[in-house]
Amino acid sequence: MTRPDPAAHVSRRLFLLASGAAAMTAAARPATAAETRVNNVLVEDDRWLLPGWETLTDADDAGVASTLDLVGETARLLASKDIALLLLAIPFKARYCDVLAPGEIAAPVQTRYARSLDAMRTRSIATLDLDAVMSPLRTPQTPLYYRTDQHWTSTAVDASGAAIAATIVRTFGLAPGTQKQPLAPLMTASQTGDLATLLPPDLQAKLGPQTYRVRTAFDADLTGYNIFTGALPEPDKPPRVQLVGSSFVRPLWGLPQTIAAALQQPVGLTFFNGDAGPYHTLLMNLRSTLPSRKPDVVVWQMTEANLHLGPAATGWWSIGDLMSTDFFLSHVREAVAAV
Protein backbone atom coordinates (compact mmCIF):
# COMPACT_ATOMS: atom_id res chain seq x y z
CA MET A 1 0.00 0.00 0.00
CA THR A 2 1.20 3.52 -0.68
CA ARG A 3 1.99 5.71 2.24
CA PRO A 4 -0.79 8.26 2.90
CA ASP A 5 -0.21 11.97 2.89
CA PRO A 6 0.44 12.84 6.56
CA ALA A 7 -1.83 15.87 6.17
CA ALA A 8 -4.74 13.46 5.67
CA HIS A 9 -4.22 12.27 9.25
CA VAL A 10 -3.22 15.32 11.28
CA SER A 11 -3.88 18.89 10.28
CA ARG A 12 -0.58 20.73 9.97
CA ARG A 13 -2.45 23.94 10.60
CA LEU A 14 -3.93 22.60 13.81
CA PHE A 15 -0.49 21.41 14.87
CA LEU A 16 1.12 24.80 14.27
CA LEU A 17 -1.61 26.78 15.99
CA ALA A 18 -1.64 24.48 19.00
CA SER A 19 2.12 24.48 19.43
CA GLY A 20 2.19 28.12 20.53
CA ALA A 21 -0.33 27.51 23.28
CA ALA A 22 1.50 24.37 24.36
CA ALA A 23 4.78 26.23 24.68
CA MET A 24 3.21 28.70 27.10
CA THR A 25 1.91 25.91 29.33
CA ALA A 26 4.93 23.60 29.20
CA ALA A 27 6.51 25.17 32.27
CA ALA A 28 3.37 24.52 34.28
CA ARG A 29 3.75 20.77 33.78
CA PRO A 30 7.42 19.82 33.39
CA ALA A 31 8.13 16.68 31.43
CA THR A 32 8.77 13.59 33.48
CA ALA A 33 11.98 11.64 33.14
CA ALA A 34 10.24 9.34 30.67
CA GLU A 35 8.53 12.10 28.68
CA THR A 36 9.72 14.64 26.13
CA ARG A 37 7.84 17.13 23.99
CA VAL A 38 8.95 17.34 20.37
CA ASN A 39 7.09 19.53 17.87
CA ASN A 40 4.11 19.55 20.23
CA VAL A 41 3.97 15.75 20.33
CA LEU A 42 4.42 14.07 23.70
CA VAL A 43 6.89 11.19 23.44
CA GLU A 44 6.17 8.90 26.37
CA ASP A 45 8.83 6.41 27.47
CA ASP A 46 10.36 6.68 23.97
CA ARG A 47 7.52 4.55 22.63
CA TRP A 48 4.06 6.10 22.89
CA LEU A 49 3.05 9.35 21.23
CA LEU A 50 0.29 11.66 22.40
CA PRO A 51 -1.05 14.86 20.79
CA GLY A 52 0.53 17.73 22.70
CA TRP A 53 -2.49 19.93 22.00
CA GLU A 54 -4.78 17.69 24.07
CA THR A 55 -4.44 18.81 27.67
CA LEU A 56 -3.62 16.32 30.41
CA THR A 57 -4.35 18.81 33.18
CA ASP A 58 -7.42 20.98 32.42
CA ALA A 59 -10.77 19.20 32.32
CA ASP A 60 -12.65 22.44 31.42
CA ASP A 61 -16.01 21.25 32.75
CA ALA A 62 -17.55 24.64 31.92
CA GLY A 63 -16.56 24.25 28.26
CA VAL A 64 -17.98 20.72 28.19
CA ALA A 65 -21.24 21.97 29.70
CA SER A 66 -21.50 24.68 27.04
CA THR A 67 -20.96 22.15 24.26
CA LEU A 68 -23.56 19.80 25.69
CA ASP A 69 -26.10 22.61 25.97
CA LEU A 70 -25.61 23.14 22.24
CA VAL A 71 -25.85 19.41 21.50
CA GLY A 72 -29.05 19.22 23.54
CA GLU A 73 -30.61 22.04 21.52
CA THR A 74 -29.51 20.36 18.29
CA ALA A 75 -31.12 17.12 19.43
CA ARG A 76 -34.39 18.93 20.13
CA LEU A 77 -34.40 20.51 16.68
CA LEU A 78 -33.84 17.14 15.01
CA ALA A 79 -36.44 15.48 17.22
CA SER A 80 -39.04 17.97 15.96
CA LYS A 81 -38.82 16.09 12.65
CA ASP A 82 -38.58 12.64 14.24
CA ILE A 83 -34.81 12.37 13.81
CA ALA A 84 -33.11 10.97 16.91
CA LEU A 85 -29.58 12.00 17.90
CA LEU A 86 -27.04 9.73 19.57
CA LEU A 87 -23.92 11.53 20.82
CA LEU A 88 -20.78 9.42 20.65
CA ALA A 89 -17.75 10.63 22.64
CA ILE A 90 -14.50 8.75 21.87
CA PRO A 91 -12.52 8.25 25.12
CA PHE A 92 -9.23 10.08 25.71
CA LYS A 93 -6.21 8.17 24.38
CA ALA A 94 -3.91 9.28 27.22
CA ARG A 95 -5.96 7.31 29.77
CA TYR A 96 -5.26 4.17 27.74
CA CYS A 97 -1.50 4.74 27.63
CA ASP A 98 0.24 2.55 30.22
CA VAL A 99 3.56 4.38 30.21
CA LEU A 100 2.43 7.72 31.66
CA ALA A 101 3.97 8.64 34.98
CA PRO A 102 1.72 8.58 38.08
CA GLY A 103 -0.13 11.86 38.36
CA GLU A 104 0.78 12.98 34.85
CA ILE A 105 -2.92 13.07 34.01
CA ALA A 106 -4.61 15.36 36.51
CA ALA A 107 -7.38 13.75 38.58
CA PRO A 108 -10.17 15.88 37.05
CA VAL A 109 -9.09 14.74 33.57
CA GLN A 110 -8.95 11.11 34.72
CA THR A 111 -12.62 11.32 35.73
CA ARG A 112 -13.79 13.72 33.02
CA TYR A 113 -15.43 11.09 30.82
CA ALA A 114 -17.76 9.87 33.58
CA ARG A 115 -18.75 13.43 34.46
CA SER A 116 -19.38 14.21 30.79
CA LEU A 117 -21.69 11.20 30.48
CA ASP A 118 -23.61 12.33 33.56
CA ALA A 119 -23.91 15.81 32.05
CA MET A 120 -25.27 14.32 28.82
CA ARG A 121 -27.88 12.31 30.68
CA THR A 122 -28.89 15.34 32.75
CA ARG A 123 -29.65 17.09 29.46
CA SER A 124 -31.51 14.02 28.11
CA ILE A 125 -28.88 13.52 25.40
CA ALA A 126 -28.81 9.91 24.25
CA THR A 127 -25.32 8.43 24.47
CA LEU A 128 -23.40 5.33 25.52
CA ASP A 129 -20.39 4.67 27.73
CA LEU A 130 -17.56 3.65 25.42
CA ASP A 131 -15.15 3.60 28.35
CA ALA A 132 -17.18 0.74 29.82
CA VAL A 133 -17.15 -1.02 26.44
CA MET A 134 -13.44 -0.63 25.81
CA SER A 135 -11.77 -0.85 29.22
CA PRO A 136 -12.42 -4.59 29.83
CA LEU A 137 -10.67 -5.39 26.53
CA ARG A 138 -7.45 -3.61 27.45
CA THR A 139 -4.39 -5.76 28.07
CA PRO A 140 -0.66 -5.20 27.46
CA GLN A 141 -1.04 -7.45 24.40
CA THR A 142 -4.24 -5.75 23.21
CA PRO A 143 -3.80 -1.98 22.93
CA LEU A 144 -6.93 0.00 22.19
CA TYR A 145 -5.07 2.91 20.59
CA TYR A 146 -2.16 2.82 18.20
CA ARG A 147 1.21 3.58 19.76
CA THR A 148 2.24 6.36 17.35
CA ASP A 149 -1.19 7.36 16.02
CA GLN A 150 -4.15 9.26 17.49
CA HIS A 151 -6.65 6.62 16.48
CA TRP A 152 -8.19 3.51 18.00
CA THR A 153 -7.41 -0.08 17.08
CA SER A 154 -9.68 -2.65 15.47
CA THR A 155 -10.33 -4.24 18.88
CA ALA A 156 -11.80 -0.99 20.21
CA VAL A 157 -13.63 -0.22 16.96
CA ASP A 158 -15.32 -3.60 16.57
CA ALA A 159 -16.51 -3.67 20.20
CA SER A 160 -17.73 -0.07 19.97
CA GLY A 161 -19.56 -0.70 16.71
CA ALA A 162 -21.48 -3.61 18.21
CA ALA A 163 -22.33 -1.54 21.30
CA ILE A 164 -23.48 1.43 19.20
CA ALA A 165 -25.77 -0.79 17.15
CA ALA A 166 -27.22 -2.38 20.29
CA THR A 167 -27.81 1.08 21.79
CA ILE A 168 -29.61 2.25 18.66
CA VAL A 169 -31.91 -0.76 18.76
CA ARG A 170 -32.52 -0.48 22.50
CA THR A 171 -32.87 3.30 22.80
CA PHE A 172 -34.71 4.16 19.62
CA GLY A 173 -36.51 0.90 18.88
CA LEU A 174 -34.87 0.54 15.49
CA ALA A 175 -35.57 -2.95 14.26
CA PRO A 176 -32.60 -4.79 12.73
CA GLY A 177 -32.78 -4.93 8.97
CA THR A 178 -32.73 -7.90 6.66
CA GLN A 179 -29.89 -6.84 4.34
CA LYS A 180 -26.73 -8.63 5.28
CA GLN A 181 -23.77 -6.27 5.36
CA PRO A 182 -20.71 -8.52 5.27
CA LEU A 183 -17.62 -7.10 6.88
CA ALA A 184 -14.49 -6.86 4.79
CA PRO A 185 -11.74 -8.88 6.44
CA LEU A 186 -9.14 -7.04 8.47
CA MET A 187 -5.90 -6.42 6.62
CA THR A 188 -2.47 -5.55 7.98
CA ALA A 189 -0.58 -2.47 6.84
CA SER A 190 2.69 -0.92 7.97
CA GLN A 191 2.69 2.88 7.97
CA THR A 192 4.23 5.80 9.82
CA GLY A 193 1.82 6.77 12.58
CA ASP A 194 0.04 10.10 12.10
CA LEU A 195 1.66 11.62 15.19
CA ALA A 196 5.06 10.29 14.17
CA THR A 197 4.82 12.21 10.89
CA LEU A 198 5.12 15.41 12.94
CA LEU A 199 8.52 14.37 14.37
CA PRO A 200 12.03 14.77 12.92
CA PRO A 201 13.14 11.93 10.63
CA ASP A 202 15.69 10.57 13.09
CA LEU A 203 13.06 10.19 15.80
CA GLN A 204 10.61 8.68 13.32
CA ALA A 205 13.25 6.08 12.45
CA LYS A 206 13.82 5.33 16.13
CA LEU A 207 10.10 4.78 16.73
CA GLY A 208 9.71 2.65 13.63
CA PRO A 209 6.58 2.09 11.53
CA GLN A 210 3.19 1.41 13.04
CA THR A 211 1.45 -1.87 12.24
CA TYR A 212 -2.25 -1.35 11.59
CA ARG A 213 -5.18 -3.73 11.23
CA VAL A 214 -7.73 -1.96 9.04
CA ARG A 215 -10.81 -2.72 6.95
CA THR A 216 -10.14 -0.35 4.03
CA ALA A 217 -6.84 0.33 2.30
CA PHE A 218 -5.13 3.60 3.24
CA ASP A 219 -4.95 4.77 -0.35
CA ALA A 220 -8.65 4.02 -0.93
CA ASP A 221 -9.84 5.99 2.09
CA LEU A 222 -10.26 9.72 1.46
CA THR A 223 -11.52 12.58 3.56
CA GLY A 224 -14.83 14.32 2.99
CA TYR A 225 -16.94 11.19 2.60
CA ASN A 226 -20.68 11.55 2.33
CA ILE A 227 -21.62 8.06 1.26
CA PHE A 228 -23.45 4.88 1.99
CA THR A 229 -21.62 1.93 3.40
CA GLY A 230 -21.68 -1.16 1.27
CA ALA A 231 -21.29 -1.56 -2.45
CA LEU A 232 -22.58 0.78 -5.09
CA PRO A 233 -25.14 1.42 -6.44
CA GLU A 234 -26.81 3.15 -3.52
CA PRO A 235 -29.62 1.23 -1.84
CA ASP A 236 -33.18 1.91 -2.95
CA LYS A 237 -34.14 3.40 0.40
CA PRO A 238 -32.22 6.04 2.38
CA PRO A 239 -30.25 4.65 5.34
CA ARG A 240 -32.11 4.76 8.61
CA VAL A 241 -28.86 5.46 10.48
CA GLN A 242 -26.41 8.23 9.57
CA LEU A 243 -22.93 8.34 11.13
CA VAL A 244 -21.36 11.82 11.25
CA GLY A 245 -17.88 12.49 12.59
CA SER A 246 -14.14 12.94 12.26
CA SER A 247 -11.32 10.67 11.15
CA PHE A 248 -12.24 8.27 13.96
CA VAL A 249 -15.18 7.07 11.83
CA ARG A 250 -13.22 6.72 8.59
CA PRO A 251 -13.93 3.50 6.69
CA LEU A 252 -10.24 2.73 7.24
CA TRP A 253 -10.90 1.80 10.88
CA GLY A 254 -14.19 0.04 10.11
CA LEU A 255 -16.73 1.62 12.46
CA PRO A 256 -19.47 2.36 9.90
CA GLN A 257 -19.09 -1.12 8.42
CA THR A 258 -19.25 -2.73 11.86
CA ILE A 259 -22.43 -0.84 12.79
CA ALA A 260 -24.01 -1.72 9.44
CA ALA A 261 -23.16 -5.40 9.86
CA ALA A 262 -24.68 -5.47 13.36
CA LEU A 263 -27.86 -3.67 12.21
CA GLN A 264 -28.07 -5.70 8.98
CA GLN A 265 -28.73 -2.56 6.95
CA PRO A 266 -26.71 0.16 5.23
CA VAL A 267 -25.42 3.06 7.30
CA GLY A 268 -24.86 6.54 5.88
CA LEU A 269 -21.50 8.18 6.52
CA THR A 270 -20.30 11.78 6.55
CA PHE A 271 -16.82 12.52 7.88
CA PHE A 272 -14.10 15.12 7.65
CA ASN A 273 -10.71 15.28 9.34
CA GLY A 274 -10.62 16.71 12.84
CA ASP A 275 -9.79 20.32 12.04
CA ALA A 276 -13.10 20.70 10.20
CA GLY A 277 -14.78 20.32 13.56
CA PRO A 278 -17.96 18.42 14.44
CA TYR A 279 -20.24 21.41 13.82
CA HIS A 280 -19.16 21.95 10.22
CA THR A 281 -19.40 18.21 9.61
CA LEU A 282 -22.95 17.94 10.95
CA LEU A 283 -24.08 20.94 8.90
CA MET A 284 -22.53 19.45 5.77
CA ASN A 285 -24.48 16.28 6.41
CA LEU A 286 -27.80 17.96 7.12
CA ARG A 287 -27.55 20.26 4.11
CA SER A 288 -26.75 17.39 1.76
CA THR A 289 -29.13 14.73 3.08
CA LEU A 290 -32.25 16.63 4.18
CA PRO A 291 -34.96 16.38 3.09
CA SER A 292 -34.28 13.69 0.47
CA ARG A 293 -32.49 11.22 2.78
CA LYS A 294 -33.98 11.81 6.21
CA PRO A 295 -32.57 9.21 8.64
CA ASP A 296 -34.23 7.90 11.76
CA VAL A 297 -31.05 8.25 13.82
CA VAL A 298 -27.99 10.49 13.51
CA VAL A 299 -24.93 9.23 15.39
CA TRP A 300 -22.82 12.36 16.00
CA GLN A 301 -19.24 11.52 16.93
CA MET A 302 -17.01 13.84 18.96
CA THR A 303 -13.91 13.15 21.05
CA GLU A 304 -13.62 13.46 24.81
CA ALA A 305 -10.45 15.55 24.40
CA ASN A 306 -12.29 18.16 22.31
CA LEU A 307 -15.69 18.02 23.96
CA HIS A 308 -15.09 21.41 25.58
CA LEU A 309 -14.71 23.17 22.22
CA GLY A 310 -17.59 25.07 20.65
CA PRO A 311 -18.09 25.98 16.99
CA ALA A 312 -16.09 29.21 17.36
CA ALA A 313 -12.96 27.56 18.82
CA THR A 314 -10.30 29.62 17.07
CA GLY A 315 -7.04 27.74 16.64
CA TRP A 316 -8.78 24.36 16.62
CA TRP A 317 -11.07 24.36 13.60
CA SER A 318 -10.01 25.59 10.17
CA ILE A 319 -10.73 29.26 9.58
CA GLY A 320 -13.39 28.47 7.00
CA ASP A 321 -15.17 26.14 9.42
CA LEU A 322 -15.40 28.53 12.38
CA MET A 323 -18.88 29.80 13.18
CA SER A 324 -20.85 31.30 16.03
CA THR A 325 -23.29 29.23 18.06
CA ASP A 326 -26.16 31.26 16.62
CA PHE A 327 -24.94 30.63 13.07
CA PHE A 328 -24.72 26.89 13.72
CA LEU A 329 -28.19 26.63 15.24
CA SER A 330 -29.79 28.82 12.59
CA HIS A 331 -28.46 26.55 9.87
CA VAL A 332 -29.60 23.41 11.72
CA ARG A 333 -33.07 24.99 11.90
CA GLU A 334 -32.96 25.81 8.21
CA ALA A 335 -31.98 22.26 7.26
CA VAL A 336 -34.60 20.74 9.54
CA ALA A 337 -37.31 23.07 8.22
CA ALA A 338 -36.85 21.54 4.77
CA VAL A 339 -38.07 18.14 6.01
DSSP per-residue string spanning 219-284? GG--SSEEEESSSSSPPSS--SEEEEESGGG-TTTTHHHHHHHHHTS-EEEEE--GGG-HHHHHHH
CA distance 176 to 335: 28
* Whether residue 36 has pLDDT greater than 90: no
* pLDDT tens-place string over residues 40-92: 999 988 789 999 999 999 999 999 999 999 999 999 999 999 999 999 999 99
Does residue 331 sit within a domain? yes
* Whether residue 168 has pLDDT greater than 50: yes
Q: How confident is the model at residue 2 (pLDDT cuts 50, 70, 90)?
A: very low
Average the pLDDT over 224-246 and give the result. Answer: 67
Pair 101, 44: CB distance under 8 Å? no
Contacts of 331 (CB under 8 A, 6+ apart): 283, 286, 287
pLDDT for the residue numbered 91: 98
CA distance 19 to 10: 13
Chain mean pLDDT for the chain: 87
Average the pLDDT over 162-177 and give the result. Answer: 95
Sheet with 41-44, side-by-side order of all strands? 35-38, 41-44, 48-51
Return the H-helix or E-strand segment holding 52.
Answer: none
Q: How confident is the model at residue 225 (pLDDT cuts 50, 70, 90)?
A: low
Q: How confident is the model at residue 216 (pLDDT cuts 50, 70, 90)?
A: confident
Provide the domain count of the chain.
Answer: 1
pLDDT for the residue numbered 226: 54
* pLDDT tens-place string over residues 271-328: 888 889 999 999 999 998 888 889 999 999 999 999 999 999 999 999 999 999 999 9
* pLDDT tens-place string over residues 120-152: 999 999 999 999 999 999 998 899 999 999 999
Does residue 211 sit within a domain? yes
Higher pLDDT, residue 180 or 126: 126
Q: How confident is the model at residue 233 (pLDDT cuts 50, 70, 90)?
A: very low
Average the pLDDT over 164-173 and give the result. Answer: 97
* Whether residue 94 has pLDDT greater than 70: yes
Does residue 127 sit within a domain? yes
Does residue 1 sit within a domain? no
Instruction: For helices 61-79 and 112-122, give the axis angle rounded to 10 degrees.
Output: 40
Does residue 292 sit within a domain? yes
Tell me the Cα Rg of the chain.
19
pLDDT for the residue numbered 179: 81
pLDDT for the residue numbered 291: 85
Does residue 223 sit within a domain? yes
pLDDT for the residue numbered 16: 39
CA distance 113 to 34: 26
Among 264, 247, 238, 289, smallest CA distance to 78 is for 289
How many other C-beta atoms lie within 10 A of the C-beta of residue 22? 19
Full residue range of the structural domain in which residue 35 is found: 6-337
* Whether residue 27 has pLDDT greater than 50: no
Q: What distances in angstroms separate CA 67 from CA 2, 34, 61, 312, one per listed residue?
A: 38, 34, 10, 11
Sheet with 225-228, side-by-side order of all strands? 126-127, 84-90, 297-303, 241-245, 267-271, 225-228
Pair 164, 299: CB distance under 8 Å? yes
pLDDT for the residue numbered 217: 80
pLDDT for the residue numbered 247: 93
CA distance 289 to 295: 9
Average the pLDDT over 212-241 and give the result. Answer: 67
38 phi/psi in degrees, rounded to 5: -130, 120
Average the pLDDT over 201-229 and give the result. Answer: 78
Does residue 60 sit within a domain? yes
Does residue 88 sit within a domain? yes
> How does DSSP classify residue 169?
H
